Structure formats: structure tokens, C-alpha cells
Chains A and B, each alone.
Chain A
Amino acid sequence: MLSVFKSIPTHMDYKGQKLAEQIFQGVILVSAVIGFIYGFTIQQFGWTVYIMLAGFMISCLLTLPPWPVYRKNPLNWQPALPETSGENRDKPQENQKKKKHK
């Protein structure tokens, strides 16, 4: 039973995190602009706040759960190397360099 839950991927990769941030900022900003214009035309600031909150809820739905969209660029890990006594010191540094790609 536990293994079923553990097999569900819950992480976001780096590009996914960037995409999630851009999506929520875009959604909130657009809803804020729409709300400001609508509230200004009907002269009700409450509607501005409601529209803004609607944008907040939408962006929560879009970016809080780790949807599969945010897992399209998985990290290319180096294949596990067979443990050899001589090369152990050099390999970890190479690994670190390769991890740094966003």
C-alpha cells in the first residue's frame, strides 16, 4: 500500500518550478488588472478584491499541486558508477558540475 503512494511523483523539476512561478505571477497580475479596471468602471472596490481573489484561487489550483506539466525536464543523472577505490575522489566534483543546469 505504501509503495503505491511512494510511486506517485510529487516533485517539480527546476524548469517546472520556474514555469509554476511564471504562471502564478501571470495569473494574479492579469486578474489584478482586470479587477482594477472592472472595479473602477463600476466604482466598487469590493469587486476588484473579489476578482483578485479569484485569480489567487485559480493560480493555487494551477501551481500548488505538482502537476505532470512541471515534470517534463527531469535531471539527467549520471549512471551509477561502479565503486572503485582510486577514482572515488574525482567523481563527486564532476557530479556537482553536471547537476547545475536549470
Chain B
Amino acid sequence: MNTVLSRANSLFAFSLSVMAALTFGCFITTAFKDRSVPVDIHVSKVMIKNVDDFTGPRERSDLGFVTFDISANLQPIFDWNVKELFLYLTAEYSTKSNALNQVVLWDRIILRGDNTKLNLKDVKSKYFFFDDGNGLRANKNITLTLSWNVVPNAGILPLVMGSGHKSLAFPESYETAKSY
């Protein structure tokens, strides 16, 4: 403490410790919060095709097309320890070969300050809904779920599942693919 540099050093070190304590306080005030909100998913159109999957098995695989609506109010999730939300819509189903299949159909990043009212109509899936075989045709129980990753300023990265699922059934017959 007798020179400018040693004072600057102890000041800086003390400030960093206090900053760490503040960050921990920010984490602890939000650590036990429930970040689940109700989500309303509605499926407007379902279609299935049987096409060549060049990435998977060398056979024709089922490719599903789902058009859906999502509405949710994400405002309660945001607080001072949330930087962004990573929303993703998954389809879960079981086939003969796999007890649990999970396919991400769509995702979106919602930054702090963005519009938190999610109101989407007739959205097409962002990613291909490929099954690794022919498990989609006439599958009666495919569950769509909206989940999100909460990206915080400090602390854990929770994975939250929205409450509100949508179960849908795929048709029995393939859409004949004229051109794709």
C-alpha cells in the first residue's frame, strides 16, 4: 500500500473479488426459479414422403413434413440472469428399431430485449424430418415438444421443457413425390 502500483494492485484484486461475489449473487437469486411456461402447439398439416436418404441407409426412408403453429408467452422466463433463450421443437416417437427417436424440427434464438410473445402461424420445419427407416408411416404417436436452453450471465445452463405437448399421427400413405 505504500506505492501507487501496490495500491492499484490491491484495489483491482478487491474489485474482482467483489465482482465475483456479485455474480454469484446474481446466480443464487435465480438458481431455483422454475423456467417452464405453457406452450400451445397446433399442427395444421402433415404429409409424408418416401425418398432417397443419401446420408443414411442406402434405402428409401420416410421424410415427414409438418406445418405447425406455436404460441407462447416467454416473458416470465426472462430475468437479470438470462441473456438468451434457444428454443427448439423436437419430435419424439418410437419405432420398431428404436424405442426413442428424437428429431429437432425447428429452432430459434430469442435474445434479451426481443419480442417475447411467440406467435407463429403455419411454420414449416427448418430441418428435415427424416426417419432412419420407414418408421414414420402410419405412426400414430409422434409428440411435438418445445424446449429451451436458458443461456445465463452466470451459473448453470438449464434445459427446460415447455409444458404443452402435441401428439400427431402420420398418414398411412405416402405422398407421391413428383419433384423435389
B-contacting residues of A (Cβ < 8 Å)?
A: 11-12, 17-18, 20-21, 24-25, 28-29, 32, 35-36, 39-40, 42-45, 48-49, 52, 56, 59-60, 63-66
A55 to chain B, nearest CB (A): 8
Q: Does B15 contact A (CB under 8 A)?
A: yes
Cβ of B80 and Cβ of A20 under 8 Å apart?
no
| Residue interface bits B1-35, CB-to-A below 8 A is 1, else 0 | 11010011011001100110110011001000000
- Other contacts beyond A24-B11, A35-B22: 17, CB < 8 A: A18-B1, A20-B1, A20-B7, A21-B10, A24-B14, A32-B19, A32-B22, A39-B26, A39-B80, A43-B79, A52-B15, A52-B18, A52-B22, A63-B7, A64-B7, A64-B11, A65-B4
Q: Which residues of A contact B21 (CB under 8 A)?
A: 32
B1 contact set on A, CB distance < 8 A: 12, 17-18, 20-21
In the complex, are the beta carbons of A43 and B2 less than 8 A apart?
A: no
Partner of A28, one of B4, B14, B78: B14
CA A56 to CA B15, docked complex, whole Å? 7
A29 touches B153 (CB 8 A): no
A-B contact count, CB below 8 Å?
62
Q: Is the interface of A mostly helix, strand, loop or mixed?
A: helix
- With contacts A12-B2, A36-B25 taken as known, whether A29 is within 8 angstroms of B11 at the C-beta atoms is no
Give the most central of B8, B22, B26: most A CB within 10 Å: B22
- In the complex, which range does the number of interface residues on chain B fall in? 20 to 34
Q: Using a CB–CB distance below 8 Å, which chain B residues touch chain A?
A: 1-2, 4, 7-8, 10-11, 14-15, 18-19, 21-22, 25-26, 29, 78-81, 153
Contacts of A49 in B (CB 8 A): 19, 22
* With known contacts A25-B14, A28-B14, A56-B11, A40–B80 Cβ distance under 8 A: yes
Give Cα A23–Cα B2 distance, bound, in whole angstroms: 15
Contact B81 A45 (CB under 8 A): yes
* A35 to B22 alpha-carbon distance, docked (Å): 9
Contact B18 A32 (CB under 8 A): yes
* 27 A-B contacts (beta carbon < 8 Å): A17-B1, A17-B2, A21-B1, A21-B10, A25-B14, A28-B11, A28-B15, A32-B19, A39-B80, A43-B78, A43-B79, A43-B80, A45-B26, A45-B153, A48-B22, A48-B26, A48-B80, A52-B19, A52-B22, A56-B15, A60-B8, A60-B11, A63-B7, A64-B7, A64-B8, A64-B11, A66-B4
